């Protein structure tokens, strides 16, 4: 018998187009608004190169003309400013019913940060919060961004951890609208690190922080 009161399905995918993942999240969210008894889900994946802006984000933080651009750009319903996704960045989309946990968005954001801080700790790295901002920093560099949307206490969107991405894509934006704090990736501290190995640490830390039993429902390369 499980020691956890809650189960959470884990979808561990490899590379998935952003728009496909977005539509999937919206479907899962809608299903759970209609039937709150459905189980929670954690999706871990990577995206091909794409820029996304939160619903209130300013396009001035894009250093290119998004109306006539070779780059894929989407404005979506999450909070936060502009961010960049690409292979080598591990993205997590928790679809959780916060009525099972705590109906407090600030608490939820801090829990997501805690998942990432514990993941870094597994590598002997000291992740930190930055007062006034959301995300996780490592020696002054932002290595993880967080942006969420919550409807009827059901969550979507989530976090992005820079593991070993091509950092050039970040040079085309002001990441998260923060002008004076650089972005970083774990590969700057651990050169041979891969998303594949980090996935297991993120999943384990997520299970610990949210006190859930993760049930694998999907494999890498699916």
What is the rounded distance in angstroms from the CA atom of residue 158 to the CA atom of residue 146?
A: 6
State the total domains in the chain: 1
Q: Residue 3's pLDDT is what?
A: 59
Domain-embedded: residue 29: yes
Average pLDDT, the chain: 91
Q: Whole-prediction pTM value?
A: 0.93
What is the rounded distance in angstroms from the CA atom of residue 90 to the CA atom of residue 198?
A: 8
Residue in 171, 183, 181, 17 with CA at minimum distance from that of residue 91? 17
Beta strands in the chain (DSSP E): 6-15, 40-46, 50-53, 73-75, 83-85, 89-95, 136-138, 141-151, 154-162, 212-216
Output the domain CATH number for residue 189: 3.30.930.10
Write out pLDDT tens, residues 134-175.
999 999 999 999 999 999 999 999 999 999 999 999 988 776
**Banded pLDDT at 116 (limits 50, 70, 90):** very high
**Apex 40 CA angle, 37 and 45, nearest 5:** 150
Cross-strand partners of 151: 154
Q: Residue 61's pLDDT is what?
A: 79
Domain-embedded: residue 151: yes
What range defines the domain where residue 211 resides?
6-216
Write out pLDDT tens, residues 43-94.
999 999 999 988 887 888 788 787 778 889 989 999 888 899 999 999 999 9
Q: Which residues contact 160 (CB under 8 A, 6 or more apart)?
A: 83, 85, 89, 90, 91, 92, 144, 145, 146
Q: Which residues contact 27 (CB under 8 A, 6 or more apart)?
A: none
The pair phi, psi for residue 201, each rounded to 5°, is: -70, -45
Domain-embedded: residue 138: yes
Domain-embedded: residue 1: no
**Banded pLDDT at 15 (limits 50, 70, 90):** very high
Domain-embedded: residue 19: yes
Residue in 123, 134, 128, 130 with CA at minimum distance from that of residue 186? 123
Is residue 205 part of the annotated active site? The answer reads no
8, 86, 176, 205: which is the annotated catalytic residue?
A: 176
* Token pair 């004076």: residue: 180
């Amino acid at each position: 018998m499980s020691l956890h009161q809650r189960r959470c399905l884990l979808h561990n995918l490899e590379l998935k187009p952003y728009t496909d993942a977005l539509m999937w999240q919206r479907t899962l969210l809608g299903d759970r608004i209609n039937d709150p008894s459905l189980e929670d889900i954690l999706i871990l994946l990577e995206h091909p190169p794409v820029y996304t802006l939160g619903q209130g984000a300013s396009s001035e933080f894009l250093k290119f003309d998004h109306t006539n651009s070779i780059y894929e750009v989407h404005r979506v319903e999450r909070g936060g400013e502009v961010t960049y996704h690409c292979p080598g960045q591990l993205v997590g989309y928790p679809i959780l019913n916060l009525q099972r946990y705590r109906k407090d968005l600030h608490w939820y954001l801090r829990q997501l940060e805690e998942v990432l801080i514990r993941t870094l700790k597994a590598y002997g790295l000291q992740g930190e919060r930055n007062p006034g901002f959301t995300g996780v920093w490592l020696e002054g560099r932002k290595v993880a961004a967080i942006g969420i949307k919550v409807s009827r206490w059901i969550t979507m969107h989530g976090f992005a951890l820079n593991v070993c991405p091509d950092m050039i894509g970040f040079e085309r934006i002001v990441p998260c609208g923060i002008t004076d704090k650089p972005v970083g990736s774990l590969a700057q501290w651990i050169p041979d690190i891969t998303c594949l190995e980090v996935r297991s640490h993120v999943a384990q830390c997520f299970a610990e922080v949210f006190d859930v039993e993760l049930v694998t429902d999907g494999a890498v390369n699916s």
